[in-house]
Amino acid sequence: AYSGQVKIVMKDIADPFVMDVSGTILNPKKYFLNFEDRKMPAGALYDNHWSVTTYTNGNNNYAQSGYVDPYKLITPRLKVSADETMTFEVAKRSTSSKMTVYYSNDRENWTEARAIANSELPSSTGTFKQFTLSGVPAGEYYIAFESGYCYLDNVYGFELVEVAHDAMVSAQELPV
């Protein structure tokens, strides 16, 4: 993280305008989702309960889970190094909003990594708060954001695993 001050000096005004600023340079090797392209992420799995929107937040695009019942948005396969963390931002849509984050190496057997209760979210609808996902063991996993009525943005951490193909069959119907 970097920090400093921006100082603006104006003619005929005695005191300059000074503003504190800070920023972070993101590692381009890390997985990053900010939804600013207004698309769901390539390689992710989700159903029609998830979408990208700017609702209540001006020009900021983010993913929303539009139903109170929880549904998963699953990342592509990610490599987690020892003691590595992932950050993400969540905002509530209502007093029913909640988010649980899981990891899995097969997208069938999920381990809960972080549960976020409605009481942990800012009281104002659409106000984002950053959370940290830690404690995921080293290895390759899918990360699932299971949400009931939440907004999700700025997911950052772990590394995308390049795979030749990545398919999952959740149901089949064969002729008899």
Residue 157 DSSP code:
E
Binned at pLDDT 50, 70 and 90, residue 126 comes out as confident
CB 40 within 8 A of CB 52: yes
Residue with the bigger pLDDT between 11 and 78: it is 78
CA nearest 98: which of 81, 115, 83?
Answer: 115
Structure tokens at 76: 């592509």
Cα 160 to chain centroid distance, Å, stands at 14
pTM over 0.85: no
Residue 40 DSSP code:
P
Give the angle subtended at the CA of 156 by the CAs of 139 and 114, to the nearest 5°. Answer: 65
Q: Is the pLDDT of residue 113 over 70?
A: yes
CB 122 within 8 A of CB 84: no
Residue with the bigger pLDDT between 172 and 30: it is 30
- How far, in Å, CA of 150 to CA of 94, rounded? 8
Mean of all residue pLDDT scores within the chain: 89
